[in-house]
Amino acid sequence: MIVSLFGTKLLLKWLTEHKIGQPIRSDGPEGHHTKAGTPTMGGVAIVSGAVLGYVISDFFGGIYTIRGIFVIMCIVGGGAVGLLDDWIKVVAARNRGLNKRAKIIGLLVVAVGFAFLMTEFTSVQTTVAFTRFDYPGWEIGRVGWMVWAVLLIVATTNSVNLTDGLDGLAAGAGLICFAAFTLISFWQFRHLQDYDNPAALDLAVISAAMVGGIVGFLWWNAAPAQIFMGDAGSLAIGSGLAALALSTGTHLLLPIIGGLFVVETLSVILQIIVFHRFGGRRLFRMAPIHHHFELAGWPETTVIVRLWIMSGLCTAVGLGIFYRDAIAQGFTA
């Protein structure tokens, strides 16, 4: 958190001095036009803070595991793809960076690499899991698990990226989700014999490090934002959440914990379907849905706080399901 807090300030100063700012789409809400030129790529501070925090953690007991290292690599990889996208945006002074194909290829490289390393060098269970590796425990084999992992990583990164449209919205929701994975991973560490996850403590530290990185960044990103996290932040957050879900055997719990990201993505999908099926009509004033609420007259801060509340409720439900399953199995010692 300390590294991210002061690192974001230094990054903000450097970006301002070099006049590196975020272009704003012309068809967005009118209130966003004043944000043009706001420094971006703040996700670098989130990832740097989290990685350094993780590195320092090993000085106190030596908790590194190969599975945890792969999760950190996935976070850094997603952030790197996003950073390249952000850099192209600011250099070309346009709202679009990498084209869709290039961005997907970059994310696929990260996702396939993570899936291969996990199945090749760790003892990860190749099952479809809800709250633990053996529930429901549908065995899909190594290749099937790799495909599933790639789909989950690509879907989550894009969902967080779509949510990142208001000051602090995606970062705040991501913070809540990483806090949940801190609790889930630590619970698994306290019940290693039941969850078969030797990297549980390591994953709890990674989750906590991401919480710290996001908290430090949010100090500067809170509305009105002085800096945006850009794709460097949103893709890193999405990669991290998917990698943690895959590593803790909570794949199917992720859409509940990250319910806000699911809603935002569904709003875009529904908008496209309605637009094409009903002759150009729109289901929402604008998608993703946070823009719909803005155009409906809600102040930006109201939209942000209410969606944070929704995110917190979704996460609470997810944690409740996880804990209820643990109690039902007698994992209370």
Query: Model confidence over 19-67: pLDDT tens digits?
Result: 777 665 555 565 555 666 788 899 999 999 999 999 998 787 667 899 9
pLDDT of residue 279: 86
Average pLDDT, the chain: 92
Task: Please report which confidence band the pLDDT of residue 110 belongs to, taking 50, 70 and 90 as the band edges.
Answer: very high
pLDDT of residue 209: 97
pLDDT of residue 122: 96
Q: What is the tens place of the pLDDT at every residue in 117-167?
A: 999 999 999 999 999 999 999 999 999 999 999 999 999 999 999 999 899
Residue 96 scores a pLDDT above 80:
no
Total-model pTM: 0.94
The pLDDT > 90 percentage for the chain reads 80
34 versus 330: the higher-pLDDT residue is 330
pLDDT of residue 294: 93
State the average pLDDT over residues 236-264. Answer: 98
pLDDT of residue 74: 98
Task: Please report which confidence band the pLDDT of residue 176 belongs to, taking 50, 70 and 90 as the band edges.
Answer: very high
pLDDT of residue 31: 58
Q: What is the tens place of the pLDDT at every residue in 279-288?
A: 889 999 999 9
State the average pLDDT over residues 63-88. Answer: 94
- How many Å apart are CA 185 and CA 79, to the nearest integer? 23
The pLDDT > 70 percentage for the chain reads 92
pLDDT of residue 98: 81
Task: Please report which confidence band the pLDDT of residue 207 belongs to, taking 50, 70 and 90 as the band edges.
Answer: very high
Q: Among 58-62, 98-102, 267-271, 283-287, which stretch is predicted with the lowest mean pLDDT?
A: 58-62
State the average pLDDT over residues 230-236. Answer: 96
Residue 92 scores a pLDDT above 90:
no
pLDDT of residue 118: 98
Domain ranges of the chain: 2-252
pLDDT of residue 26: 56
Q: What would the 3-class secondary structure string for the chain be?
A: CHHHHHHHHHHHHHHHHCCCCCCCCCCCCHHHHHHCCCCCCCHHHHHHHHHHHHHHHCCCCCCCCHHHHHHHHHHHHHHHHHHHHHHHHHHHCCCCCCCHHHHHHHHHHHHHHHHHHHHHHCCCCCEEEEEECCEEEEECHHHHHHHHHHHHHHHHHHHHHHHCCCCCHHHHHHHHHHHHHHHHHHHHHHCHHHHCCCCHHHHHHHHHHHHHHHHHHHHHHCCCCCCCCHHHHHHHHHHHHHHHHHHHCCHHHHHHHCHHHHHHHHHHHHHHHHHHHCCCCCCCCCCCHHHHHHHCCCCHHHHHHHHHHHHHHHHHHHHHHHHHHHHHCCCCC
